[in-house]
Chain A
Amino acid sequence: MSIEFDPGLIDYAQRPPRLPQPVDPNNDDLPIALETRLELYESQLTLRQFEKRAYDLFLQNLVKGTSHLSLGMEAIAAGFGKAMRRDDYSFATYRGHAHTLARGVPLGPVLAELLGRANGLLEGKGGSMHLTSVEHGMMGSYAIIGAHLTIANGAAWSAQLRGTEQVSVCFFGDGTTNIGAFHEALNLAAVWDLPVVFVCENNLYMEYTPIDLITAVENPAADRASAYGLEPIIVDGNDADAVYVVATEVIDRARRGLGPALVEATTYREQGHSRADPGKYRPVEEVAAWKARDPIPLYHQRLLRLGVPEQDLTTIQQAVAGRVDEATEFAKSGAAPALELAMKDVWADGSAVWRN
Chain B
Amino acid sequence: MAELSYRDAVARGIAQEMRRDPSLVMLGEDIAAAGGVFKTTVGLLDEFGPLRVRDTPISEQAILGAAMGAAMTGVPVIAEIMFSDFLAVCFDILANQMAKTRYMTAGQVTVPVVVRTANGGGSRFGAQHSQSVENWTMMIPGLKVVAPSNPVDVVGLMAAAVRDPDPVVFFEHKSLMARKAEIPEGELVDRLGTARVVRPGRDCTIVAVALMVERALQAADELAGDGIEAEVIDVRSLVPLDARTILDSVVKTGRLYTVEENPRLCGWGAEIASIAADEVFWDLDGPVVRIATPHIPLPAADALEDETIPSVARIYETIRRTADQ
Q: Which of A155-163, A251-259, A276-284 contacts B (4 or more CB under 8 A)?
A: A155-163
Write the B54-75 contact mask toward A (1 if CB under 8 angstroms, else 0).
Answer: 1011011110111111111111
CB A148 to nearest CB in B, in angstroms, measures: 8
Contact yes or no, B103 A346, CB < 8 A: yes
Please tell me if A49 contacts chain B, counting CB pairs below 8 Å: no
Q: Are A150 and B66 touching (Cβ within 8 A)?
A: yes
A344 and B54 alpha carbons, distance in the complex (Å): 35
> Is A151 a contact partner of B97 (Cβ separation < 8 A)?
yes
Complex interface: stretch among B235-243, B260-268, B289-297 = B235-243
Given A150-B69, A150-B93, do A347 and B62 touch, yes or no (CB 8 Å)?
no
Taking a contact as CB atoms under 8 Å apart, the answer to whether B241 and A122 are in contact is no
Contact between chains at A356 and B240 (CB < 8 Å)? yes
Complex Cα spacing A151 to B67, Å: 8
Residues of B within 8 A of A348 (CB): 102, 110, 164-166
- B227 adjacent to chain A (CB < 8 Å): no
Flag whether A123 is at the interface (Cβ < 8 A).
yes
How far in angstroms is the closest Cβ of chain B from A351? 10
Contact B92 A158 (CB under 8 A): no
- Kindly state the separation between the CA atoms of A352 and B59 in the bound complex, as whole angstroms: 32
A147 and B57 within 8 A (CB): no
- The docked-state distance in angstroms from the alpha carbon of A157 to that of B73 is 10
* A234 within 8 A of partner (CB): no
| Of A155, A157, A188, A356, the contact of B242 (CB 8 Å cutoff) | A356
Most B Cβ at <10 Å: residue of A89, A154, A341 = A154
User: Once A and B bind, how many residue pairs between them come within 8 Å at the CB atom?
Assistant: 163
Known: A147-B92, A354-B239. A153 touches B105 (CB 8 A): no
Which residues of A sit under 8 angstroms from B67, Cβ to Cβ? 154
A211 beta carbon closer than 8 Å to chain B: no
Which residues of chain B are within 8 angstroms of A162 by Cβ–Cβ distance? 23, 74-75
Once A147-B92, A150-B65, A191-B57 are accepted as A-B contacts, the answer to whether A130 and B75 lie under 8 Å apart by CB is no
Q: Which of B25, B66, B193 has the most CB of A within 10 A?
A: B66
The contact of A153 among B62, B106, B108, by CB within 8 Å, is: B62
* A130–B70 CB distance below 8 A: no
B109 touching A140, Cβ below 8 Å: yes
A and B contact pairs by CB, cutoff 8 A, 26 listed: A122-B105, A126-B106, A132-B108, A139-B69, A139-B109, A140-B109, A148-B97, A150-B93, A151-B69, A151-B97, A153-B69, A154-B70, A155-B70, A155-B73, A157-B66, A159-B73, A161-B25, A161-B70, A162-B74, A184-B59, A184-B61, A184-B62, A188-B57, A188-B59, A345-B103, A348-B165
